[in-house]
């Protein structure tokens, strides 16, 4: 779903809980792309995506893409040197 009216978006998002704070996900020469995850009163999660001008001279039409998402816990393996590990895990 795409919402192109600011007042309509304000009414839609009113009372939603922020799960993931607004943050930039990509940046072009003239545009910065943002996303945020919110949770509605029924417990559904929504990804909000929009763009904003990267300079004060960029005029971007208001548009927020709204997509239903769900939380998925993921385990990640990272590799660290023995020195870094020992520094953090020995007292």
Q: Which CATH number is associated with domain 2-89?
A: 3.10.450
Q: How far apart are the first and last CA of the chain?
A: 53
pTM above 0.85? no
Distance CA 55, CA 44 (A): 34
Residue 85 host element (H or E): helix 82-89
pLDDT at residue 65, as a whole number: 92
pLDDT at residue 5, as a whole number: 82
How high does pLDDT run on average in the chain?
87
* Count of CA atoms in the C-beta half-sphere (13 A) of 35: 12
* Position 91 confidence tier, pLDDT thresholds 50, 70, 90: low
Distance CA 27, CA 54 (A): 8
Distance CA 18, CA 46 (A): 10
Question: Which residue ranges make up each domain of the chain?
Answer: 2-89
């Amino acid at each position: 779903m795409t919402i192109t009216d600011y007042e309509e978006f304000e009414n839609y998002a009113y009372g939603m809980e922020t799960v993931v704070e607004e943050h930039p996900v990509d940046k072009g020469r003239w545009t910065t792309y943002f996303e945020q995850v919110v949770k509605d009163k029924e417990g559904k999660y929504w990804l909000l995506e929009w763009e904003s001008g990267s300079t004060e001279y960029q005029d971007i039409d208001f548009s927020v893409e709204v997509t239903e998402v769900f939380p998925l816990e993921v385990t990640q393996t990272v590799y660290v040197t023995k020195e870094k590990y020992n520094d953090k895990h020995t007292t």
